């Protein structure tokens, strides 16, 4: 028979713990946000057990969350060297919170409590942890739980799918006007960092990310066929960017151009005549100050480029190809910049009516 217990959190939010006990079978438990969901689970579970369709999972009773994370890191995460360190650090938090818990005991309620704790804590910078950061913790552990379901067979389903993710902000919408772009480039030309002007120009011409630019290598650039190749991007896929006349001019003006002994276009830090080191980001901050541009970050150069590309009439599909987005939702934020272009198209079609 099935039983339901109501649980009230300190926040006042209610959850419902359901349990099914049938003679000859181990008891099954789960947690739900609504009583109706708990009742349906009980009915489905009892029916599946009686019909022989329900498989009790002994592995979930023998293995803890730490056991799962050990297997996940060694068998899956170790194959992705690019994100290994970052994901491992995120998973450490789940080890600290629920690592000793057996997988059979793991309920959505425990995950929701850990989520809320992450949201309420202050970071080392004495700021509240952002919803976006919390979602990265959730995504990392959810991947491990899916690994337990699909590859290890230690869980029937992924309990992380039953909790809600914190709503993230719409993101920054700051981009430079043409007048601000001219001021910034003028300040970059005067910078003691000889690479700064080229790096900022490339960002504005291509909408490439900072890491993609500073990690460019000469072997990735094909001047003859006029394209450059990004082998490692944020979403893991390769991206090819055509070379315009202006972009070729910028690339060939780089100090390392023509030097066969230098593999990379840029170094993240350049040695100045005064024998002190100045980073590209610090040089960029100085240029912004000289150009009297406030509330602006290097990544906003990508938004600036994308916004001006959209205003020039690019379609959403074209923007996706340029930015390397896999989802149209990521590119949709620039849609309102192309409204003028759409209006011109509609104006042209108005001639069909006399």
Does residue 165 share a domain with residue 34? Answer: no
223 and 330 part of one domain? yes
Q: Is residue 305 assigned to a domain? A: yes
For residue 205, count other CB atoms closer than 10 A to its CB. 17
What does the alpha-carbon distance between residue 342 and residue 310 come to, in Å, rounded to a whole number?
11
Q: Which of 83, 159, 72 is nearest to 115 (CA)?
A: 159
Same domain as 73, residue 2: no
Supply the pLDDT for residue 82: 66
- 48 with 129, same domain? no
Residue 354 lies in a domain: no
Checking phi first, is residue 284 left (phi over 0); if not, alpha (psi -120 to 50) or beta?
alpha
- C-beta separation of 207 from 305 below 8 A: yes
Quick one: 325 exposed, middle or buried, by C-beta within 10 A (0-12, 13-18, 19+)? middle
Residue given tokens 């006399």 in the structure block: 354
Q: Residue 335 has what pLDDT?
A: 65
Domain with 50, as residue range(s), is 1-55
Query: Same structural domain for residues 206 and 335?
Result: yes
151 with 39, same domain?
A: no
Mark the ranges of the chain whose per-residue pLDDT is less than 50: 269-277
The CATH number that applies at residue 271 is 1.10.443.10
Q: How many CB atoms lie within 10 A of CB 222?
A: 12
**Token representation of residue 340:** 């003028």
Count up the domains in the chain and report the number. Answer: 3
pLDDT of residue 8: 86
What pLDDT is recorded for position 272? 44
**pLDDT score of 92:** 95
Q: Are residues 44 and 75 in the same domain?
A: no
| Same domain flag for 64 and 50 | no
Instruction: Give residue 351's pLDDT.
Output: 63
CA–CA gap between residue 115 and residue 97 (Å, rounded): 10
d(CA 14, CA 222): 60
Per the CB < 8 A criterion, the answer to whether 65 and 94 are in contact is yes
Q: Are residues 126 and 231 in the same domain?
A: no
Edge to edge, the sheet with strand 2-8 lists 2-8, 14-20, 28-32
Domain shared by 113 and 126, yes or no: yes
């Amino acid at each position: 028979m099935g039983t339901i217990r109501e649980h009230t959190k300190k926040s006042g939010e209610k959850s419902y713990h359901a349990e099914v006990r049938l003679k000859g079978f181990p008891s099954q438990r789960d947690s739900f946000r609504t009583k109706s969901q708990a009742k349906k689970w009980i009915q489905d579970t009892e029916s599946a057990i009686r019909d022989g369709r329900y498989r009790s999972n002994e592995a979930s009773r023998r293995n803890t969350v730490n056991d799962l994370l050990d297997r996940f890191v060694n068998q899956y995460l170790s194959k992705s060297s690019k994100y290994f360190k970052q994901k491992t650090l995120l998973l450490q938090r789940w080890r600290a919170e629920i690592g000793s818990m057996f997988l059979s005991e793991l309920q959505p309620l425990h995950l929701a409590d850990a989520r809320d704790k992450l949201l309420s804590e202050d970071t080392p910078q004495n700021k509240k942890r952002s919803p976006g950061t919390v979602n990265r913790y959730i995504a990392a552990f959810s991947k491990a739980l899916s690994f337990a379901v699909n590859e290890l067979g230690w869980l029937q389903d992924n309990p992380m799918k039953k909790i809600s993710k914190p709503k993230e902000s719409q993101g920054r919408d700051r981009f430079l006007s043409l007048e601000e772009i001219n001021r910034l480039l003028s300040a970059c030309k005067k910078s003691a960092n000889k690479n700064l002007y080229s790096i900022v120009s490339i960002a504005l011409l291509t909408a490439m990310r900072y890491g993609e630019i500073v990690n460019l290598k000469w072997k990735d650039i094909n001047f003859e066929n006029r394209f450059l190749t990004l082998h490692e991007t944020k979403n893991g896929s390769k991206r090819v960017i055509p070379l315009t006349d202006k972009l070729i001019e910028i690339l060939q003006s780089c100090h390392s151009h023509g030097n066969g002994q230098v593999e990379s276009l840029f170094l993240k830090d350049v040695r100045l005549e005064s024998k002190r080191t100045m980073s590209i980001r610090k040089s960029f901050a100085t240029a912004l100050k000289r150009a009297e541009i406030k509330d602006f970050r290097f990544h906003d150069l990508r938004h600036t480029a994308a916004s001006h590309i959209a205003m020039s009439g690019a379609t959403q599909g074209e923007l996706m190809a340029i930015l390397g987005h896999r989802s149209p939702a990521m590119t949709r934020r620039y849609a309102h910049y192309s409204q003028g272009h759409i209006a011109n198209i509609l104006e042209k079609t108005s001639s069909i009516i006399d």
